[in-house]
Amino acid sequence: MNLFWDNASTTPVCAAAVKACCEMMAEGYYNPSALYDKGLAVKRRVEDARKTLATALNIKPETLTFVSGATEANNWVMQAGFKNKNGNIVISEGEHPSVYQPAFALKARGVDVRTVPLAPSGAIDVSAFERAVDANTSLVSVMHCSNETGSVNPLSDLVRVVRSKAPRALFHSDGVQAFGKLRTDLLYLDVDLYSISAHKIGGPKGIGALYAKHPLAALLVGGGQERGLRSGTENTPGIVGFAAAAACYHSQAPQCIDGLRRQLCTIANSRINGDPHCNSGYIVSVSFEGVKAEILQHMLSDRGICVGTGSACSSKSKDNRVLRSMGVSPSGIEGNIRISPGTETTDEEIAAGVAVIRECVETLRGKIHG
Ligand code: PMP
């Protein structure tokens, strides 16, 4: 069995992206800042890629800056997006560590950082959000779609709250798990800042971009690349590969996801975390009572099935702040795996994979109770 069901962590690089990256490395290796023809041709490829991605986001190309990935984009926002030092920052408990940790670094330096809990649906608790934002709010960061559960936040509603209560605040959203999957018309969503990453949509690793309606202070200074905002010779294979992936990524959720949820629910003492009605359709977070997720993950890996166990479990702690905030019990957190099938996954693969999961869960429970 060979089932890669961890597409929320990364995706296989699509053929078009591989071709684009290889071409840039083998033939288009010239420095895009060089003023001879070959350099200018590479520069044009970079700008074409920017246009392709900008079109997908319905933004002006010059508002998109290439960076090394969403971690960098999110850190940049937290470093440069918080301008009123007497103001406050509002984030959700569901944020990726690349937002959460820089926010907490600011908190350690005395900044008023407010974390808004999640509802059991997995989306942000909108009433708590409304209470957290006030006239002093200077920066808000709420992800578009959760990497843990696939839950989708009502971004437009949240932006409206911020515009009315804190008109000068910047609204950032981490769009990594949404780009290519949900509607990411940023003019419609009316966000100020938005992070994306290539390797979640069939592109190469180590390349992402930050949309900024108005430029932030420069992240890196030096050679002045990326309009002086992010110096460093551009990752041209990555940039061109990113655009190639975005152009061909099927923005169709895996067809099998409902069937996957239904079949998982037939395993005794299992529970789907979050509300399927406000979900991207790409991620299923499921908990098995009485099972240790890491052991299950290893057993599945031995049988050729790759699943995730949630980012917090990578540390020594068995806690998971995202699921905890949604009200998932400690045993539900301990027995939680994240399944993110590929867009091409078939119903037959789902049936076969769930049968193996059932068998492993029952074996593990037997070991504990037997
Ligand atoms: N935000 C979210 C929601 C993610 O899922 C990830 C990838 N795990 C990141 C940020 C970080 O992206 P990158 O790997 O491009 O740094």
Tokens of 265: 């629910």
Strand-by-strand arrangement of the 137-141 sheet: 64-67, 208-212, 193-197, 170-174, 137-141, 88-92, 112-116
Instruction: Give yes or no for residue 369 having a pLDDT over 60.
Output: no
Contact between residue 284 and residue 339 where contact means Cβ atoms under 8 Å apart: yes
Residue with CA nearest ligand 1 atom 5: 147
pLDDT band at residue 263 using 50, 70 and 90 as cut-offs: very high
Q: What is the average pLDDT across 1-8?
A: 96
Q: Are strands 3-4 and 305-306 parallel, antiparallel or unpaired?
A: parallel
Q: State the pLDDT at residue 368.
A: 56
Question: If you measure from the C-alpha of residue 147 to the centroid of ligand 1, how many angstroms do you get, rounded to a whole number?
Answer: 8
Could you read off the pLDDT of 323-358 as tens digits, one per residue?
999 999 999 999 999 999 998 899 999 999 999 999
Is residue 98 within 6 Å of ligand 1 at its C-beta?
yes
Indicate whether 312 pLDDT > 50. Answer: no
Could you tell me which residues are beta bridge partners of residue 64? 211
Among protein residues, the one with the nearest Cα to ligand 1's atom 8 is: 9
The pLDDT assigned to 366 comes to 87
Q: What is the pLDDT of residues 142-196, one digit of tens each?
A: 999 999 999 999 999 999 999 999 999 999 999 999 999 999 999 999 999 999 9
Confidence class of residue 214 from pLDDT cuts 50, 70 and 90? Answer: very high
Ligand 1 centroid to residue 74 C-alpha, Å: 9
| Sign of the C-alpha dihedral computed for residues 255, 257, 258 and 262 taken in this order | positive
Ligand 1 pocket, residue 69 CB under 6 Å: yes
Give pLDDT tens digits for 83-119: 888 999 999 999 999 999 999 999 999 999 999 999 9
Instruction: Write out the catalytic residue numbers.
Output: 313
Cα separation, 281 vs 177, whole angstroms: 11
CA distance 44 to 301: 43
Residue 250 has pLDDT above 80, yes or no: no
Whole-structure pTM value? 0.96
- What's the Cα-to-Cα distance from 239 to each of 28, 73, 198, 244, 326, rounded to whole Å? 12, 15, 9, 9, 36
Left, alpha or beta for 15 (phi > 0: left; psi -120 to 50: alpha)?
A: alpha
- Decide if 182 contacts 253 (C-beta within 8 A): no
> What is the 209 CA–ligand 1 centroid distance (Å)?
12
